[in-house]
A and B are shown apart, each in its own frame.
Chain A
Amino acid sequence: MTRRLLLLLLPIGFMGVAFFLYQGLGLDPSHRDTALMARDFPEFEATTLRDEERQVDQTLLTGDVTLVNVWGEWCPACKQEMPQLLELADNGIRMVGINYRDTREKGLEFLHEFGDPFEVNIFDPEGSLGFDLGVYGAPETFLVDAGGVIRYHHKGYVSPEDVRERILPEVEKWR
């Protein structure tokens, strides 16, 4: 009798495995939180896109809640999400761009054509700041709180729903 009961553990055990597999179906394998979550924005020194004389560093991102958007002229999804970013800027949110792996010329052309929601754009032609941020493809958007700590990360295209359902609530939360 005990043997039968032990054997019945087999189908029950499998049901457990199947439950995990079922859970797995609802997960997005490509979705990952950034490794920098709840950590200080990395230290950097760079010039700005518009003014190659102006030096900026991580203190640029302290003082107010800031959305940092990593973009490049070569990235189609960056163009698609510009209207949403402009809307966020209109809502009074401080926006800082990182012009990632681009040339000044192309970057400025992009802002001219698609609009410029950014208070300032950090020029990162080699992608070294992007690397320290763990960026592996644009666009990516980071929320940095007033203390310069990364609080939220959005990978890829920001849709109007994302703005409403995720980004605005997060901004409110950390203000």
Chain B
Amino acid sequence: MALIRMLSVAFVLMFSASVIAGGIEVREFDDPVTEKRYRDLTASMRCPLCENQAIDDSDAPISADMRERVYLLLQDGQSDIEIIDHMVQRFGDYILYNPRLENRTYLLWGLPIGLVVIGFTVVVLMIRARRHASAKALSAEERARLDALINRERSS
């Protein structure tokens, strides 16, 4: 067991000798749009070997290969979706920092949106309840009159 651990440490060191400032490569692009697409694509793909790093700033050899492939596919005129599919086919969904919407990620994308809806409802309900709480004993007409009085006093 200890040997395995030692070997795996050696293995990791071998491939990511440092965690810093990789991906400094000189590349020529036909136009700024392609360059931006290259940046966005490499920034949103995870290096499969490193800890938590995008391929655009990792200096692991596999990240260099992946950047090169993204670049070549861009030169080849492929769309972003095609390029992403090309990479996922080989390295799996793990490399996508932007998880795709599918069965297992419905909750990931849905919960925050659901919470916004629930949060909005709760706020509305609470405010309605509180507004009534302050003047429960009064009829609607009385309350309106009281509100008007209070407001007049306030704004004067």
A and B touch in the complex (CB under 8 A): yes
Cross-chain contact A133 with B10 (CB below 8 angstroms): no
Distance to closest chain A CB from B91 (angstroms): 5
Indicate if the CB atoms of B4 and A132 lie closer than 8 Å.
no
Given contacts A101-B61, A127-B65, A131-B65, contact A136 B91 (CB under 8 A): yes
* Residues in B whose Cβ lies below 8 Å from that of A157: 4, 7-8, 11
Q: Which A residues touch B15, using CB under 8 A? A: 137
| Interface membership of B128, Cβ < 8 A | no
What's the dominant secondary structure at chain B's contact region? helix
**Contact between A32 and B92 (Cβ–Cβ < 8 Å)?**
yes
Q: How far is the CB of B5 from chain A (nearest CB, A)?
A: 10
- B67 → A minimal CB distance (Å): 12
Contact of B4 among A75, A133, A136, A159 (CB under 8 A): A159
> Which residue of the partner chain, among A32, A77, A127, contacts B11 with CB atoms under 8 Å?
A77
Q: When the two chains form the complex, which single residue of A75, A131, A134, A159 contacts B14, counting CB atoms closer than 8 Å?
A: A75
- With a CB–CB cut-off of 8 A, which chain B residues contact A80? 7
Q: Mark B74-91, 1 if CB is under 8 A from A, else 0.
A: 000000000000001111
7-30 of chain B: CB within 8 A of chain A = 7-8, 10-11, 14-15
Q: Report yes or no: A137 in contact with B11, Cβ–Cβ below 8 A.
A: yes
Q: Check B130 for interface membership: any CB of A closer than 8 A.
A: no
User: Does the CB pair B11–A76 fall under 8 Å?
Assistant: yes
Q: Does A36 contact B (CB under 8 A)?
A: yes
Which residues in window 94-134 of A have CB below 8 A to B?
Answer: 101, 127, 131-134
B-side interface residues toward A, CB under 8 Å?
3-4, 7-8, 10-11, 14-15, 48-49, 60-62, 65, 69, 88-94
29 inter-chain pairs at a CB distance below 8 angstroms, sorted by A residue, are: A32-B48, A32-B92, A33-B92, A35-B89, A74-B14, A75-B14, A76-B11, A76-B14, A77-B7, A77-B8, A80-B7, A127-B65, A131-B90, A132-B90, A134-B90, A134-B92, A136-B48, A136-B49, A136-B60, A136-B91, A137-B15, A137-B49, A137-B60, A137-B62, A156-B8, A157-B4, A157-B7, A157-B8, A159-B4
Q: Give me the interface of A with B, judged by CB distance under 8 Å.
A: 32-36, 74-77, 80, 101, 127, 131-134, 136-137, 156-157, 159
Not counting A32-B94, A36-B90, A76-B14, a sample of 16 additional A-B residue pairs whose C-beta atoms are within 8 angstroms of each other reads A32-B48, A35-B89, A35-B90, A74-B14, A77-B8, A101-B61, A131-B69, A132-B90, A134-B48, A136-B48, A136-B49, A137-B62, A157-B4, A157-B8, A157-B11, A159-B4
